[in-house]
Structure 1
Amino acid sequence: MKFKITISPFKIAQYLTFGVIFLTICSIAIQIGKYIFDYREPWTRLFNLDREMNIPTWYSGLMLISCGLIIRGIFAIKRSLSDRFWRQWKILSTIFFLLALDEIASIHEILIIDDLADALNLPSFWHSVWVIPGTVLVIIFIWKYWKFIFYLPKQLRRYFLIAISLYVGGALGMEMVGSYYDGIDGQQNLVYAMLATVEEVMEMMGCVVFIYSLLTYLGELDADIGVNFYIKNKS
C-alpha cells in the first residue's frame, strides 16, 4: 500500500513557532507567579524554561533530532550526487544528534560548578564554565565549515546564519549575560528568570529557522522523496 504525505516547510515552522510561543507564555506566567505571588507548586517545573528534564527540554531536544534527521536525508542525496561537501552534511547531522542528547540529558550542566569558577578566578560572565569549551567548539566549527556555508545557495546560507546566530547567541551569549547578572543579584529573582527565558527562546527559534530552511532545501533537491516501511513477520 502506498500513501502520500505533503509537508509544507512554512506550516511546520508556523506550528513549531506556536509551540514556542505557548511554552514561553506558560513559563513567563509561572515565573511571575513564583516571584511576585509566591506560587511554587511542583507542577510548574514542567513548563519552566529555566528548568531541565521537562516539557520545554523535550520540545527543544525533539527539534534538534528533527534537524539531524532532515540533514541525514540531505546527506544521502548529496552523497548519491558525489557532492564535494557530502561529508560535511554527514558530520553536521551527527552534531545535531549530539546537541539533542546534551539538551535532553543536560550534560553541559555538569560544568556549572561554582567552586571551579572561583578556583580559576574566572570573570562572572564565565561562571558557567561550560561556555569556555562551548566557545572553542563554535570557533572550530566556523573554521571547518566556513567554506561549506558560503558554498550553500544564497537563501539557505542566509537562513543558516540566522539560525546559528539565534542558537549560539542564546546558548552562549545569553548564558554569559545570565551568569554576569547572577554575580550581581543571584538567580532567585524575576530578572534572572526572564534572561533565562530569552536564552531558551532564542535556542528554540534557532531550531525552528533551521528546520524551515532544511525542509525547503530538501524539497528543492528532491520534491518527491520516498520513504519505505517494511514489516517483517516472525518466521
Structure 2
Amino acid sequence: MAGADETAQTVRMILGATLALVVLIVIAGYVRETFVAFSYEMSRDYGYKLWRLNGERTVAAWLSSMLMAGTGAAMLIVSLAERRRAIGTWPWWVALGLVFLAMSVDELIVLHETFTAMREQAALLGGFGTFSWVAGGIVFVAVVAIASVPFLLKLPRRTAGRLIVAGAVFVGGALGVEMVSAYIYSNISTGTLYDFTTLVEETLEFAGVWLGLRAVLEHFLALRAATPANQASAASQAS
C-alpha cells in the first residue's frame, strides 16, 4: 500500500510540474506576442524568438517535444503493466506509444512542414489548405481515429473518455485552428491576427498533450490499485 501511495504521489507531482511548465510557457508566449504587436523590432530579437509558441528551436517546441516523448514513454510503461496482467489492450498502448515518440521527434525537426505529397489535395481546401501538410494530417487523424475505436471500446470508460477529450482538444488545435490560421495567412494578413490565431492553436495542442499524459498516468494508477479479481475481469473484457 505504501508503494502504491508513493507511486500516486510521484504521478501527481509529475502532472503538477508539467502543468505548471505548460501554463508558464503559454503565458510567456502570449506576453511575447503582445509586446511584438506593438514593436516589430522586438520580433527580430533572438531572445524574444525563443519564447514564441509557434516556432522552431524555441522553448515551447522543446517542451512540447518532451511532453510528447513523456506521454509515449508512459504508454509503453502501461503496455508492460497490462501485459504482466494479461490484459489484451497492451499492444495498442505499444502502437500509440511509438506514434507519440515519432510525434516528439517531428516536433523538433518539423518534418511535417516539408510534407508536399498531398499538395494538390490541400489545394482543394482553398485557403484552409495553404499549409500542404494539413491534407495529410486529416488522413492520418482519420486513420488513427478509426483504428482506435476497438481499443477505446475495450478500455475502462473513464480512461477512454479522457483519451477522447485529449485527442479532440489536440486535433482541434493542430488541424482545426491550423486551417483557420492558414486561411488568415493566405487571404487576410500575416500580422497580429494570424499570430494570435497560432497562439490559440499551440495552446490547444499543449492542453491536448497534457490531458493525454494525465489520462495515461491515471490509467496506470488504476491498474496498480486494482485488486486481482478486478484485474482478471479487465483482462477478460479486453481479450
For normalisation by structure 2, the TM-score amounts to 0.84
- Looking at structure 2, the residues matched to 162 and 112 of structure 1 have their Cα atoms a distance apart, in angstroms, of 30
Residue 36 of structure 2 corresponds to residue 66 of structure 1: no
1:163: how far off? 0.4
CA distance in 2, matches of 1:55, 1:5: 31
Q: Deviations over 1:25-63 (max 9, x none)?
A: 211222122221232322111110121121100100000
Matched, 1:197 2:193: no
| Match 1:214 to one of 213, 216, 231 | 216
Moved more, 79-88 or 41-50: 79-88
Which one of 11, 16, 32 corresponds to residue 18 of structure 2? 16
- Distance between the aligned counterparts of 1:56 and 1:103, measured in 2? 10
The residue aligned with 2:189 is: 186
SS at match of 2:87: coil
Give the C-alpha shift of residue 10 in structure 1. 4.0
DSSP-derived class of the 2:50 partner: helix
CA-CA distance at 1:23 after TM superposition:
1.3
Decide which of 150, 157, 160 is 1:147's aligned counterpart: 150
Aligned match of 1:92: 96
Residues in 1 aligned to 2:134 and 2:223: alpha-carbon distance in whole angstroms: 36
Higher helix share: 2
Query: One-letter code of the match for 2:46?
Result: P
Within 1, Cα distance between the matches of 2:207 and 2:25? 12
CA contact (8 A) 1:112 1:128 kept: no
**Structure 1 residues 84, 118: closer, same or farther in 2, change over 3 A?**
closer
The residue type equivalent to 1:128 in the other structure is F
Q: 1: CA distance between counterparts of 2:91 and 2:146? A: 16
Residue 74 of structure 1 aligns with an amino acid whose one-letter code is V
Deviations 1:206-228 (A, max 9, x none): 1111111111111111259xxxx
Which runs of 5 or more residues in structure 2 are unaligned? Answer: 227-239
Q: What SS does the aligned partner of 1:58 have?
A: helix
Q: Deviations over 1:166-219 (max 9, x none)?
A: 1111111111010011122232x1111111111111111111111111111111
Q: How does 1:36-47 map to 2 (within 5 A)?
A: 36-38=38-40, 39-40=42-43, 41-47=45-51
Q: Identity of aligned pairs, percent?
A: 23
Q: Hey, what's the Cα distance between the residues in 2 that align with 1:223 and 1:196?
A: 41
What letter corresponds to residue 175 of structure 2 in structure 1? L
Once the two structures are TM-superposed, the CA of residue 75 in structure 1 deviates from its matched residue by 0.6
